[in-house]
Structure 1
């Protein structure tokens, strides 16, 4: 297996990858596999370069498999079955402070990157996604790859604030990012002009409203978390979805 320089691999995140991506791990007894689920752990080597790894390969590469439990997971709202990570010991009555801090750290980074990068980069997305108050900490994260606990607390306070609309909270932004990835994959795989037009109309709707209905997801053939886009308060009078074209069949996308 590929080894990092003088320090092992550092787990960065779990994220969606292109279906043609190959795992970076190599070995005499291991085939150079791909990612049929479109998900991978992203690990960083000592030189600062990031590479995709499968679940088993990532566990073997990092200094301790439990480190993978505390990286930001951008695939959480997908429905792909997950390979079980190493079991943690039964929780104590009082939560371990180090684990709690690691969980908050990962949650803050995930929200920061979702809002300032991943969802903000969706074509024609509403401009309220990118939040000026987070520009400074995001620039620091881009430079250093990390944030301090004071910044963690600030980011989580913004995410949980009553002034933050439900559609701009972490769970809904995860749903938006997941649906965006899946819609782009479906467009790339489709050979029907009508289907592509419909999928792009859904993508534009998602970008403007940051929400899709269960009917829209079903019409497009997208599988997501059973409670995708059901967060309290995300629906309003401005979210009447566009109709599917006559004769549209999600199975024809492939």
Structure 2
């Protein structure tokens, strides 16, 4: 990266990238490293173009590395928990009362993530059920696309919709993150497979995910998908009949 670019990068999000993607920054060897885990920070330059960076490269590129913690992360449900270490960090953080500014920042991130998940990332999954894209959010989404930001009133509006009793559990933030993560992993598996029967199975599973917005543990296991241990276990997403079917190992 040139000296003119150094420090001029704006963090936008952490997201999945294609496995053949190369980091925009050059490492010590002068080469662009890849992303073996398929995740990257997306940074925007002064001209508004977005590029992928690895964690270490992103920390060098931005003015304040702490800014990387202030962007929405669409990959967090791809994490396999190191339970004891992570629980200790969460417990330590929970003992300190967040400041008003920290609460506002957390709410803004939650609103942006939900808005983009519902109106863009999950809404663009092939053959996804049409209830994902929510017309009352269209004007806010268009505003966010133009400006890259949300007003406090817009944040409150988005969070009220996400938490409303009329919003089905499968259309809440955590489950939509699981849907997006599973969609990405299924597409990778389909692209990497050279067996017709396996491709058909994976495509059928992908269609099921698009229609139902949920996968059972049996389905995830049959596809060989590793996800967060609590994937698709948000309260209320499984009805009693579905829960029994999932426990029996039924795939479709």
Counterpart Cα distance in 2 of 1:92 and 1:201: 45
Instruction: Report the alpha carbon displacement of residue 31 of structure 1 after superposing the two structures with TM.
Output: 3.2
2:70 maps to which residue? 70
Correspondence 1:179 to 2:182: yes
Offset of 1:4 from its aligned partner? 5.9
Residue ranges of structure 1 left out of the alignment (5+ in a row): 246-254
TM-score by length of 2: 0.88
Tell me by how many angstroms 1:79 deviates. 2.7
Deviating more after overlay: 165-174 vs 234-243 = 234-243
Distance 1:186 1:62, change over 3 A: same
* 1:32 positional shift: 1.2
Which consecutive residues of structure 2, in runs of 5 or more, have no partner in the other structure?
Answer: none
Q: Note closer, same or farther for the CA distance 1:223–1:92 as it changes in structure 2 (3 Å cut).
A: closer
Matched residue of 2:23: which SS? coil
2:4 and 2:151 mapped to 1: Cα distance?
Answer: 25
Distance in 1 (CA, whole Å) between partners of 2:21 and 2:129 is 30
Deviations along 1:9-62, whole A, 9 cap, x unmatched?
A: 110000000000000012555531000000000001111110000000011111
Q: Does the C-alpha gap of structure 1 residues 141 and 75 become closer, same or farther in structure 2, counting only changes over 3 Å?
A: same
Q: 2:200 is matched with which residue?
A: 197
What's the C-alpha RMSD, in Å, of the aligned pairs?
Answer: 2.5
- Tell me how far apart the structure 1 counterparts of residues 23 and 3 of structure 2 sit (CA, whole Å): 13
- Mapped partners of 1:38, 1:154: distance in 2: 33
Q: 1:218, 1:229 → 2: CA distance?
A: 13
In structure 2, distance between residues paired with 1:218 and 1:4: 48
Q: Shift in Å at residue 80 of structure 1?
A: 5.9
Matched residue, 2:220: 217
Q: Is the helix fraction higher in 1 or 2?
A: 2
**Superposition pairs for residues 97-136 of structure 1, below 5 Å?**
97-136=100-139
Q: Are residue 158 (structure 1) and residue 161 (structure 2) matched?
A: yes
Q: 1:184 to 1:150 in 2, by over 3 A?
A: same
Count of residues paired in the alignment: 241
Match of 2:8 in 1: 8
Give the aligned partner of residue 148 of structure 1. Answer: 151
Determine helix, strand or coil for the equivalent of 1:15. strand
